[in-house]
Amino acid sequence: MTMRVDGVPGLQRRLEAIGSRRGRSAVMQRVGQEVVKAAKRNTRTFRKTGNLGRGIELISHDDDSARVEARAGYSAHVEFGTRGGQMIRPVRRKALSWARKGGTGKGASRLSGSPRRGAARFFSKGHRRGATRAQPYMRPAIASVARDAGLREHVIRTWNRAD
């Protein structure tokens, strides 16, 4: 998954005031690094293995853009969610059957996943599986960096000095 933030005319005009190409590139590198940190921080709320967060990195930057990528194969599915899903139907029996998951009450599953004796059972002729809700981590990171990174003040100071 690749997301690129560029084309904001007002920001680009102010970045031109910085003067040197190296100075603008340094600002965009800082922006990219801040987006990486914020995106990794956002993945902590729902991570299981940490693979998604480890795969987020600053790929490149120049004087008017920074490219941050999430390299996990499922990163777009987490960011945007999935639609539809797959219908599961019983093959060997008349209905699907499963025990209640999680919790600590009577009938909850064990850590091994096998149900306890007397656990509540659910039955169904079919079940739709696979659709997941979106859990955005990159878009909020970009928004928070644009709002909170202090970049605005830095650019305004530079703009004012350029007059």
| Identity of the residue numbered 1 | M
Kindly report the pTM of this predicted structure: 0.59
**pLDDT class of 93 with cuts at 50, 70, 90:** confident
What does the pLDDT read at residue 105?
A: 55
**Contacts of 135 by beta carbon, 8 Å cutoff, 6+ apart:** 46, 78, 79, 81
CA within 13 Å, CB half, 163: 5
Domain chopping of the chain, boundaries: 2-80+133-162, 87-131
- CB-based contact 23:17 (threshold 8 Å): no
**Contacts of 15 by beta carbon, 8 Å cutoff, 6+ apart:** 24, 27, 28, 63, 64, 155
Calculate mean pLDDT across residues 54-79.
90
